[in-house]
A and B are shown apart, each in its own frame.
Chain A
């Protein structure tokens, strides 16, 4: 009985994370563009020598423009999705084994 309720809970969390993924990943993409983080990061490729000289300013700029909350939220969605998948497969396996033993 516990396994069934766990399967239901984790199914909902899996579904919820899938539904939430699209708007959150879109928001992260917008945040990366609006914050200028990608533009600042691109300097590491185009002006590597200057960036090495002024690496402290460069790191500070990257940290200031890092959309931390958006990244954390998107990772949280991935975390919930992967965690749900892990527990769901475990509980489904338990249920299948119980059914085999019962039959």
Chain B
């Protein structure tokens, strides 16, 4: 089979259809997330401003639907970033979406550093961590797993100040 036959083959056509289907799926997935987020955001603001602003959003609901980028939502189930503060069973982490989140550490939270399990007092400010958990009603994440990552290598020309 030469290259030209391959481009006209059913296999190649199948690959094209598969890629097309994944593209459509990803766009629909993203659209679903956007619409869901906007609805939740709208409902939240509507409830918050019910007494002050009964007329609805100032710019109109459909204008609020703008922005289909990848980084307009704050993740609710996980965070990856640097520990800013540790206080009792809570810590503040500056995350990948430039939002600071409060993480609560419970009795069932697994904290891993390399191959060993540690306690929260074994953690320090400036640790790079990946956290998986569940959001609670207070806007915090109840951590299920905290993995302490090795610090990222300095960028070329970057001087680390101790």
By a beta-carbon cutoff of 8 Å, the part of chain A in contact with chain B is 31, 34-36, 39-40, 42-43, 46-47, 50-51, 53-54, 57-58, 60-61, 64-65, 67-72, 75-76, 78-79, 82-83, 85-86, 89-90, 93
Contacts and interface: CB of A to CB of B under 8 A. Distances in A.
A19 to B, nearest CB: 19
Given A50-B145, A89-B7, A89-B8, A57 B22 contact: no
A83 B80 contact: no
Interface in B12-32: 12-13, 15-16, 19-20, 22-23, 26-27, 29-30
Interface of B: 3-4, 7-8, 12-13, 15-16, 19-20, 22-23, 26-27, 29-30, 33, 68-71, 73, 75-81, 95-96, 110, 112, 130, 132-134, 144-145, 147, 149
B16 A75 contact: no
Contact of B96 (A34, A50, A71): A34
Contacts of B80: 36, 39-40
A95 B79 CA distance: 57
Given A35-B71, A64-B78, A89-B8, A79 B147 contact: no
Contacts of B8: 86, 89-90
A40 B7 contact: no
B interface majority secondary structure: mixed
Nearest to B81: A36
Nearest to A46: B147
Contact of A65 (B3, B19, B22, B75): B75
